[in-house]
Structure formats: structure tokens, C-alpha cells
């Protein structure tokens, strides 16, 4: 499933399980990539994670957060200075101040 398909699925009434399956597959690909080839995949991956974080649905935000954490824990041989993480810093800061009613979901 490519980035556009995931974005369409996020905005359509399709079951969220498709999004979960797609993100699980992408997480697995990300973990399997070797350092040299990871840069080819990261930009698309981060765009999809951003779409999940922009969702109003807490479960999709949690899915995006978990995927970002997996990505952040990957060690790269050389740092990539061209990537911008401003959106993620801003969005995670907003999520820290969430007023979502369910405390269990809010803390995830």
C-alpha cells in the first residue's frame, strides 16, 4: 500500500484495520532496511506517520506515535541533516496537552 492509498484510507470510511496492517508492514520494512537504503524510504514513511498524527482519532494518533518511536530508535551511520522534524515536535507537544476524556488513551 503506497502513501496515497494510506492517506485515502485515513480520510475514508474504510475499516481502520487496513491502516493498521499497512503501518505494521511499513514498520517491518523500516526495521529491515539497511542503513544505505533507509534514506530512500524514510520521507514517504514520515509523511504517512504525519497523516496519522493529524487524525482526530486517538487510535490513529497512537499508531503514528508508535511508528515514529520505532523510527527514532534506528541508528543511522550518517545523520541526515536535510530532514525536518518541526512538525513532529509541534504535534507531540500538542498531544502532551491533550484534553481527551479517556485517561488511558490520553497517556498512550
Band (pLDDT 50/70/90 cuts) for residue 89 is very high
Grid cell in block for residue 16? 481502520
**pLDDT tens readout for residues 40-79:** 778 888 999 999 999 988 889 999 999 999 988 877 766 6
pTM of the predicted model as reported, rounded to 2 decimal places: 0.74
Q: How many structural domains compose the chain?
A: 1
Look at residue 4 and tell me whether its pLDDT is greater than 60. no
Which residues touch 91 (CB under 8 Å, ≥6 apart)?
A: 50, 53, 54
Q: Which domain holds residue 97?
A: 3-107
Residue 1 has a pLDDT of 47
Higher pLDDT: 36 or 98? It is 98
Amino acid at each position: 500500500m503506497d502513501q496515497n492509498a494510506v492517506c485515502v484510507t485515513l480520510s475514508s470510511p474504510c475499516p481502520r484495520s487496513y491502516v493498521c496492517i499497512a503501518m505494521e508492514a511499513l514498520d517491518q520494512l523500516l526495521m529491515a532496511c539497511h542503513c544505505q537504503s533507509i534514506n530512500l524510504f524514510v520521507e514517504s514513511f514520515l509523511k504517512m506517520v504525519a497523516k496519522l498524527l493529524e487524525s482526530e482519532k486517538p487510535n490513529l494518533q497512537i499508531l503514528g506515535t508508535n511508528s515514529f518511536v520505532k523510527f527514532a530508535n534506528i541508528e543511522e551511520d550518517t545523520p541526515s541533516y536535510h530532514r525536518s522534524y518541526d512538525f513532529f515536535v509541534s504535534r507531540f507537544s500538542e498531544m502532551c496537552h491533550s484534553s481527551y476524556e479517556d485517561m488511558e488513551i490520553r497517556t498512550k
